[in-house]
Structure formats: structure tokens, C-alpha cells
Structure 1
Amino acid sequence: MTNLRTTFLARGLAVLAGTALFAGLHVSGSASASTDAHAISATTSTPTNASIADGGTTASRHDTATEHRNACRIHRLLTGTFSAPDSRSAKRLAAKVVAPHAVTHAAGASTGPSGILAQFAADRARVPGAHAVIKHLAADGDLVAVHWQIAPDPKDERRGEAAVDLFRLANDRVVEHWSLDQQIATGKPASGNTNTMFSDLYRPAHRTKAPTERQEERNRVLAVRAYDSLFRDHDVSVLDRDFDPAYLQHNPVAPNGTAALKQLFAGGAQFPAQQSVISLSDGDIVWTFSQRVDAKSGDPILAADLFRVDGGKVREHWDVVPAS
């Protein structure tokens, strides 16, 4: 791929084949191997008493005590089992945190703790000597999401895989789990964007307070509306309304700023309509998990996107887009 337009067109073709898209877009040769079952077969199963409208949670988004407890349990699960998922200690810990009949949304995955531990074992098989390096973690309602690096070297953000895992908890235990990952592209990006897939670069012009729960919800609504306006309704005007023109982009295939997305849509590219089906907001970051609008039960989640929202504008974006 020799230029940004070529990259966008290639990503557009990938979308038509069932792969997701946001600003950052998929690089040929950078996707996880086709044998990575948990990445290519991640599916959504929103409970019957939850809906896309409420972001896929049935729990209160204002119960900070439960959210904090859930976040701590997932942090402990990932850091305490990933390094040796077959060990007795990992199995004991997983049994405490994961319900016996928890569903892991992956082809052929086992239920309960063994399904999650098998995923971690597969991650380590693909990236020998890997460490789990958590970059962002969010808890909202009954959901916890983790943006993390499957890293052969914890000090090097440009090797290994980028991953987002999503957990649903009930009564302090995981009852549902999704996982998406993408190999980190190497070499000089054609876009000229040298941001890593994980770094936090945005610095507000003025020091701001941590968002309240009410502000977090306003941020979630804004980011979900922006995503759906662009990729469900194909309304490019949302880029001028809700995005900082110089927003920071962490997928190396696209440069910073909104000009690249405007170029993509102005070029007449057509994409299957897709929308956020699960969303979280914690701190100043909103997480969206998207599917095609016409998705059926068992269809894959196409991508996980993270948006930093400050002052009513999207200021920074990360994503993980599995191969499919």
C-alpha cells in the first residue's frame, strides 16, 4: 500500500468482507493468524432484558462501588493467570472469579474458567514469552473492558498484539466474555503516523477535573452517537460537530485528524451499515463494540474502539480490529 487513499480502499474492501472499520483501518499482513479462533469468532449475546439503546448493560451505571470491585477482580484475573494459565494457582484464581457456566464467545470454547484460561494459553502460544500489559481498564454497569498488549517485551509497545477483552459480571463473577486482538504492524507506516497503538498523548489546554458519573454518561452518549452517525447513517457532518479536527489517532494506517475520514467518504467508498451494540464510559474514555446493523445472533463483533472525550469533543482514538 503506497498511500493513505489506497489504505482506505483496502480497508473498505475488508469491511465489505465482514471486517470492521473506524478511522484507523486494517493493514494487509498485520492481522492475527487465521487460526486465532477467539479473535475471528468473537460474538455478542446481549441479554434479552438489555438493549443496544442502553449500551448492553442491565446494571446501574452509577454504582461506583460495584464497578470498582468488578474492575479489581478483572485486573487480578488477567495479571494473576496470564503468565501461567495452566498452573494450579491460575486455575484456583480463575475458579474464584469466573462462574462455572460463564460463556466465552469463541468457536469451540469451553464454558467457565477453562474457556478464559484456554484463550490466555493460545495468546502465549502465538507470542512466546508474552506478558499481559494493561493499558486502559474501564468498568461501567456490569461490564469491564481491558485494552492491553500481549507483549514479548513490556517496554516495547511496537511488538506483539493489541487486545481488548470485555467481561460481564454478576454477583462478583464473570458470566460472559468476549476477546478481540490484532497483530501490531511493524515497519514504517505509509501514513506517517508514528503513534503507538497504546500511548496516551492528549493533553488538555487547561487542567480539568475527573468526569462525574453524569459526565461519563454524557460522554458515552456523544461517542456512540458519533460512531453510529458516521458508520450507520454515513453522516460525515458529525466529524465537524463532535471531533477535534486534530484528534489523535493510534492506528498507524491513518494519520491524526479528521481530514483522512473526510477523504474516505468523499471518495465515494460504501460500507455496510454498522453500529455500536455494547458501550462503556469510565473516566474520559468511551468504549464501543460494533456489529453490522443487520447482524444476527452469533454474528461477530467487528471491532472495539476507544474514544477520549473532553470538552464535548473526541480528542483521541484507539482501536482493535480482528482479522476475519
Structure 2
Amino acid sequence: MQPTTKHPTRRRAALVSGTALVTGALLAGLSAPVTASASAAAGTATATAATNTVADGGTTASRYDTATEHRNRCAVRTLLTRTFADPTSPAARRLAQALVAPDAVTHASGAAAGPAGVLAEFAADRTRVPGAQAVVKHIAADGDLVAVHWQVAPDVRDERRGDAAVDLFRLRDGRVVEHWSLDQPIATGTPASGNTNTMFSDLYRPARPTPAPSERQEERNRTFAVSAYDTLFRDHDVSVLDRDFDPAYLQHNPVAPNGTAALKQLFGSGAQFPAQQSVISLADGDIVWTFSQPVGAAPDAPLLAADLFRVDGGLIREHWDVVPTS
């Protein structure tokens, strides 16, 4: 059976999105008992996030080249959806050889280079979730980066089973040259937080429709969301919650309720959380994606978490994340 994709809607809402609520080390301390096989990546790569500065968000290409971004997005969607069903098949290997550079770096411990490394990650997903299909929920292209938020789904009709995943790809001349993968089991049962939103649904509805953001607006959204994230999780300055977040923002983390009140309470409890910061970021449509590491981490250290943010009217309105448990 061919993998299923759910084409993401490009929200009319406007600005970037989300809420960096409970990510990384913070979430690890809060989350309900969940075991994960995290493909999040460690890496001994020659090409890493350190290739760029934190300030530029990790891209080595123009964020205003929409034609290349469109081609890159299509290439990654094709790679994922057409090889995931059987990553070991001759057809999957041929397609991966066409779309992945021979020396591409996969940031996972012991991963092979090139197409074999990418296909091995997909094969590991299918081993972990037998019978799984790849269901794309959100996809973004910005500069030379493409990010995919997707479900490793044993049942494409059920968003509450399997794993939540975010994969990040860097492309050059239409081929993948670098790949990171993060995944997290989807929690089952009724969460203690009372939040019953799935880890994938799009729930925010703007008060009135607005045009899709331009490339320049996307870039303003990216810097806005990254600044909000770093202010909260690197600087531990909770005043940003009153400035940049909708008090009732929508939360898709199963252990955190909607709204900013719980996060204010958490930071005000006196608990100590390691500082973390965004090291790679993308903006596409009204969603901004951040990939974080602990402050001071080595450039090739594993990514800690992937967060997606939706913003409308200058406020963070909705948030999704994937936080590997190891």
C-alpha cells in the first residue's frame, strides 16, 4: 500500500505560529511515562548546524528563492512518501539514489552515508511501528532546508496511534545532503493535563481571513518566533508570555494544557531548567519551525526538540512539538 499524505493547509491566518511551551529538557521532566526510540540524532557529521551561525537559522541559501524552495519541498515529499512503504525495495533504492547525494550525512549514531542512511531511518520507523504508513501533516521549505511534521501511523484514520516525527533535510542542487530525524511515541489514554488535542490537528481559526504571508513576512515571523523561544527557554524570561503569546494559545503537546497559565506556574515554581536555544529555524506560510540544542552544546550534539509555531495578529496562537525521550 502506498503511504498516505495529508496536504497541509497554508493558513490564511497570518504570522508564524505557536507556543514553545514545554520543550526539550523541560518536557522531558514533565511528560507522562512514554518510551521512545529517538532517532534524534547525534552525529559525527562534517556538515552540521555549526556550518552556520545560530543567528542565520542554519540555512546556507536565500530564504527568498521560492522556485528552489518549491522544488526542494516536492523532492522531500516524494522521497518520504514513495520510499517509506518499503525502504528496502529496489524501487525505493533507485529513487533515493536520485534524490539523496552519495555522501549525504544522516545525523544518527552509526548511520551510513548517502541514500542508505536515509532509507535505514525509514526502515527503523517501520520496525518500531509495524505496518506503519507515512502521513504528512505539515511541510515547510525555507532556504536550503525542508522540514516535515508527520505521523508514523499504523492506522491513517487515527491520529492517536504510532509516533509523531519531524525530519529535517538540507538540499543542494535538488538532492538531500544532510538529514536529521526526531520522533516521539504518541501518548495513549487520557492525559493528566486534560488536553485532548492530537499532536497533529490544526485547530486555530483566525477572526478574519488574511492573505498568505509574503516571503519577507515569513522571515519577520521566523525572527519573531525564534526570539520568543530563546527569551523563554534560554533566558528564562517569562514576561515574553504576556507580550508574544495568546493567553489561550492551542497546545498539541499531550502533557501540557492550552494557554500560558500553566507555563507561568511552572517557571514560577522555582524548578531549574537547563537553558536551550534554537539553532536551526524555518518559516513557511504562517508556521515557524525551530530546532533546539542546550546552550553550550557541541555543534554536532543531537537536536533536543522540534517545535512548530503558528502566529496571527502578532501573537503565538498554536504549537506542536516532537521531543525525543533520549
- 8 Å Cα contact 1:25-1:253 kept in structure 2: no
- Higher relative contact order, structure no. (Cα contacts within 8 Å, ≥ 6 residues apart): 2
Q: Report the Cα distance in structure 1 between the residues aligned to 2:89 and 2:204, rounded to whole angstroms.
A: 40
In structure 2, the residue matched to 1:31 is: 35
The Cα of 1:43 is off from its aligned counterpart by: 7.8
Moved more, 50-59 or 173-182: 50-59
- Does residue 254 of the first structure (1) align with residue 259 of the second (2)? no
1:172 aligns with 2:177: no
Letter in 1 for 2:215: E
| Identical aligned residues as a percent | 72
SS in 2 for 1:190: coil
| Corresponding position: 1:20 with 2:3 | no
Q: What is the DSSP-based 3-state SS (H/G/I as helix, E as strand, rest coil) of the residue aligned with 2:40?
A: helix
Matched residues in 1 for 2:214 and 2:277: separation?
A: 26
Q: Gaps (5+ residues) in structure 1?
A: 1-10
CA distance in 1, matches of 2:125, 2:300: 23
For residues 115 and 40 of structure 1, what CA distance do their matches in structure 2 show?
A: 12
Which residue identity is paired with 1:322? Answer: P
Match of residue 189, structure 2, among 173, 187, 190: 187
Correspondent of 2:323 among 313, 321, 324: 321
Q: Provide closer, same or farther for how the CA distance between residues 247 and 43 of structure 1 changes in structure 2, counting only shifts above 3 A.
A: farther
Alignment-derived partner of residue 221 in structure 1: 223
Aligned position for 1:295 = 297
- Alignment check: 8 A CA contact 2:25 2:274 kept: no
**Distance in 1 (alpha carbons) for counterparts of 2:30 and 2:266:** 14
8 Å CA contact 2:25, 2:273 repeated in 1: no
CA contact (8 A) 1:275 1:293 kept: yes
3-state SS, counterpart of residue 200 of structure 1: coil
Aligned counterpart in structure 2 of residue 285 of structure 1, from 281, 284, 287 = 287
Whichever residue aligns with residue 104 of structure 1, its letter is: T
Aligned to 1:46, which of 46, 49, 60?
Answer: 49
CA drift of 1:80 comes to 0.6
Match of 2:15 in 1: none
Change over 3 Å in CA distance of 1:43–1:312 after alignment to 2: farther
Q: Which runs of 5+ in 2 are unaligned?
A: 1-20
C-alpha distance 43-244 of structure 1, shift in aligned 2 (>3 A): farther
The 1:245–1:228 alpha-carbon spacing in structure 2 relative to 1, beyond 3 Å, is: same
Provide the C-alpha distance between the structure 2 equivalents of 1:271 and 1:47, rounded to a whole number of angstroms. 24
Matched-pair contact (CA < 8 Å) for 1:27–1:185? no
What's the secondary structure of 1:39's corresponding residue? coil
Question: Which of 153, 156, 159 pairs up with 2:155?
Answer: 153
CA distance in 2, matches of 1:98, 1:143: 14
Structure 2 residue 61 is the aligned partner of structure 1 residue 59: yes
**Normalising to structure 1: TM-score of the pair?**
0.90
Match of 1:268 among 267, 270, 292: 270
Distance 1:85 1:43, change over 3 A: same
Aligned length: 304
Deviations along 1:14-72, one digit per CA (max 9) or x if unpaired, are x9xxx5336x9752432313xx5x23636882253x21101011110000000000000
Taking structure 1 as reference, are residues 313 and 132 closer, same or farther at Cα in structure 2, changes over 3 Å only? same
8 Å CA contact 1:286, 1:307 repeated in 2: yes
What's the CA shift string for 1:227-277, capped at 9, x where partnerless?
Answer: 000011111000000000000000111110000110001101111111000
Local SS of the residue matching 2:280: strand
Q: Distance in 1 between matches of 2:29 and 2:314?
A: 24
Match of 2:26, SS state, is coil
Q: Is the 8 A contact 2:50 2:299 kept in 1?
A: no
**CA deviation vs aligned residue, 1:198-250 (integer Å, no higher than 9, x gap):** 00000000111101111101110110000000011111000000000000000
User: RMSD between aligned alpha carbons?
Assistant: 1.8
Give 1:298 deviation, angstroms. 2.4
What TM-score does the superposition give when structure 2 sets the normalisation length? 0.90
Task: Tell me the distance in 1 between the aligned counterparts of 2:43 and 2:253.
Answer: 21
Counterpart amino acid of residue 21 in structure 1: L
